[in-house]
Every structure is written in C-alpha cells, then in structure tokens.
Amino acid sequence: MGVSTSAPSEGVAVVTVDFPPVNALPVRGWYDLAAAVRAAGADPAVRCVVLTAAGRGFNAGVDIKEMQRTAGHDALIGANRGCYEAFAAVYDCEVPVVAAVHGFCLGGGIGLVGNADAVVAADDATFGLPELDRGALGAATHLARLVPQQLMRALYYTSRTVTAEELHRHGSVWRVVPRELLLDTALELAREIAAKDGCLIRLAKAAINGIDPVDVRRSYRFEQGFTFEANLAGVADRHRDAFVSSGTAYSDASGVPSSEERQ
C-alpha cells in the first residue's frame, strides 16, 4: 500500500498509487505522490513518467473520513496543501507525464490527470468532480484542461461524470483501450517519448508549460480559497458529514465507489 516507483524500460519510470479500497488518498499519500513524481522527473535517466494506480479505480479524491475524524482544520489544510503539491508535481515534472487511467477518476484524480501531458484511458474510465456534493470547491482549473468551458461548468455544477470515450472525442484522451491493455498502451506512448533526446525533452516540457494561457498553480490556489470560505461558513462540514453517513452509491453505472467504500 502506498506509492511506488518502477523502471520497466529504459528512460521510463512508472509511479503507481495503491491506497485500498478505492485510492482515496490520505494527507500523507498526496505528499508521497508528489515526492515520487518529482524524484522520477529529476532522475537524469528518466525521459518520461507514467502515472498509474492499482485496484478498482485511478483515484477517488481525498480521504474524507480522515478529514472528518480529525479535530480542527489540520486535515483540511493538509489535504489542500497535499493536493496542491501533487498536482504541481505532475505539472512541473521535468519530463512529460502520461496518466494511465482506469475506473473512476474523481476530485483529486482530475487534478492529477488535468495536469498530465497525455492521458491514456481504459474503456471503463469515468471522470468527474463531485466537489459541490462534498462541501468543497476546486480542480475546475484541471477539468477545464480536459473539456470545453461550458461543458466544464455543467459538469462542475451537477457533479456528473463523463466517460473516457467522451474525453477522447474532445481530444484530451490520447487513446481508449480495453482495461487489460491500459498499461501496455501507456508504456508504448511513454517509450516513444523517451526515445527523444533527454535534454531536448526537458526543454520542450519547460517551453510548453511556459506558453500555457493559465497558470494552473495560481488558479487552483485561488479556487482553494473558496473551499476554506465554505468551511468557515459551516457548509462544508455539513455536506461531508452527510456524505460519510449516507453509504449510498452513485446513481450512474460507472463503477464509481459508494461513500462507504471511499473512506
């Protein structure tokens, strides 16, 4: 359990997240993920990083139960800072990051995938931000990198999910493949990238980040401020408590975990 790094082929590092049952990361997990991605990108032998996950789904966001059982705001602040660090680590990674996504990709998962350089998805993958239903605000910055503006807003306001195939039609997913081919397909793309000159691929990553129209770190930090406002108003705790106690599953058939499973 935790975050591990492997090197399946020359020039490629695979960072795997494994927090059963559904990869809802505790505070420490976000920091560990950030450290692993940064370390992989800083390795001069690495020219591409694949970010993947074990288990039923890619990422179910933060561990809300950890947040609710911790007195005060320490867990909330930790989760916000941890997510910021992990998202920034993917974006700032010195080499391209390919996200290999299966199952559910929710909340913090969108932050990771939205900041990745390329996304390969299994045909069972679903993507969404249930933040409003969980008393939080954030990662619209990253969802906006995956879908057009009005669709991003509709998804954000409704907490609905979209499929990998829909994102592929919008051009934000490189390929959609059967789940058993996911890692091999992501590695195929990673090896193609890793075949490039290591110095040039790092310069290319820095150059592309430099021409982004939106500073994803600053815009996400701006969003986080409204999450804290919701907490001070008491709205966030009310929604998180209801979520933890409900035990109800999502209404779609995407395999997204129930609230009990996410904790």
Contact 211, 146 (CB under 8 A): no
Give the strands of the sheet with 118-122, arranged side by side: 2-9, 12-18, 48-53, 97-101, 118-122, 175-177
How does the average pLDDT of the chain come out, rounded?
A: 92
Tens digit of each residue's pLDDT (9 = 90 or more) over 198-221:
999 999 999 999 999 999 999 999
d(CA 255, CA 263): 16
Spatial CA neighbour of 166 closest among 133, 128, 137, 132: 128
pTM passes above 0.85: yes
pLDDT band at 173 (very low <50, low <70, confident <90, very high): very high
- pLDDT value of position 10: 97
Terminal alpha carbon distance of the chain: 15
Which structural domains are found in the chain, ordered by start? 2-179+204-246 (3.90.226.10)
217, exposed or middle or buried, with CB in 10 Å at 0-12, 13-18, 19+?
middle
- pLDDT value of position 249: 38
Spatial CA neighbour of 44 closest among 1, 95, 113, 119: 95
